[in-house]
Amino acid sequence: MPMNSTYTNDDLILYMYDEMEPSAASALGEELVKNPLLAEEYRKLKEIQNKLDDEHQEPNLTTVNMVMDYSASYHSAPEHHTE
């Protein structure tokens, strides 16, 4: 937990994922400029968040096409579809 600050790492995570109320986010943003220890904690969290973006996968085209085909044929044979 950052020293000399009322903010916790949970606050920093909420801020990082844009889940803080605008006024609270603005106050935390100002604190980050003034408090190097808090800024360092935030930098560490942000580094991991950025790293997580390296992993992004997509379904293959065949899978997407099968979904589209299923949708297009849905009205013609609704009795075959189960929930």
Partner 1 sequence: MITHQITDQELVHHYVEGNEACLEMLIKRHKRKIFTTIYLIVNDRYIAEDLFQETFIKVIHMLKNEKYNEEGKFLPWVIRIARNMAIDYFRKSKRNPTITDGDGEDIFRYIELADENREEQIIRQQTEKQLRFLINQLPDEQKQVLVLRHYGDLSFKEIADLTQVSINTALGRMRYALNNLRKMMLEKEISLQ
Nearer CB in complex with partner 1: 22/59:
59
- Residue selected from 26, 30, 40, 63 as contacting partner 1 according to rule CB under 8 A: 63
CB-CB contact of 38 with 8 (8 Å): no
3-state secondary structure of 11: helix
> Is residue 34 near partner 1 by the rule CB under 8 A?
no
The residue among 20 and 32 lying less far from partner 1, judged by its C-beta, is: 20
Cα distances from 65 to residues 9, 44, 78, 81, in angstroms, run: 43, 41, 19, 18
Q: Using alpha carbons only, how large is the chain's radius of gyration in Å?
A: 23
Residues that bind partner 1 (CB under 8 A): 9-10, 13-14, 17, 19, 44-45, 47-49, 51-52, 54-64, 66-68, 70-72, 74-75, 81-83
